[in-house]
């Protein structure tokens, strides 16, 4: 039986993308031009959130703005065009490739309450 080892006080938990980004069964990992995006499917977007949507057969990252969605290239999806939009989920993390010298490895959590 014995006593617990005092060395256990100095052990560290191994960091993994799953533990850092909170990846679970509702998470979707999408490859982007600069790395990866972690998307929480089923999460309800709030003002200022970054979302992944499907529109006319293509996936777009966008921000809700009133009754419109503004895509990364500045295009506004509004009015009747919103009927064709499928909300995939809220972007919680953007992870940049470390090969890009000008970009940090992680941009950080974009989902409120995870910082």
**Per-residue pLDDT tens digits for 103-115:** 555 444 444 444 4
Rounded CA-CA distance 69/53 in Å is 9
- 25-66 pLDDT, tens digit each: 889 998 888 888 999 998 888 878 999 999 888 899 999 888
Banded model confidence at residue 99, pLDDT cuts 50, 70, 90:
low
For residue 8, report the phi and psi dihedrals to the nearest 5 degrees. -60, -25
Q: What is the pTM of this model?
A: 0.70
HSE-up of residue 113 (Cα within 13 Å, Cβ side): 3
Q: Do the domain assignments include residue 1? A: no
Q: Do the domain assignments include residue 51? A: yes
Rounded CA-CA distance 15/13 in Å is 6
Q: Tally the domains of the chain.
A: 1
Q: Do the domain assignments include residue 17? A: yes
Q: Do the domain assignments include residue 114? A: no
Q: Do the domain assignments include residue 102? A: yes
Rounded CA-CA distance 67/23 in Å is 30
Q: Do the domain assignments include residue 115? A: no
Domain with residue 62: its CATH number is 2.10.109
Q: Do the domain assignments include residue 93? A: yes
Q: Do the domain assignments include residue 39? A: yes
* Residue 17 DSSP label: H
- 29-40 pLDDT, tens digit each: 988 888 889 999
DSSP string, 95-111: EE-TT-TTS-SEEEE-S
Per the structure, the complete domain to which residue 23 belongs is given by 6-109
């Amino acid at each position: 039986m014995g006593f617990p080892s005092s060395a256990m006080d100095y052990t560290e938990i191994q960091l993994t993308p799953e533990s850092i980004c909170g990846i679970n069964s509702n998470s979707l990992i999408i490859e982007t031009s600069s790395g990866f995006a972690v998307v929480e499917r089923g999460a309800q977007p709030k003002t200022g959130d970054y979302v992944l949507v499907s529109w006319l057969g293509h996936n777009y990252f966008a921000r809700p703005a009133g009754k419109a969605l503004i895509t990364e290239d500045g295009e506004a999806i509004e009015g009747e065009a919103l009927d064709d939009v499928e909300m995939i989920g809220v972007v919680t993390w953007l992870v940049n490739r470390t090969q890009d010298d000008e970009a940090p490895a992680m941009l950080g959590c974009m989902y409120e309450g995870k910082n």
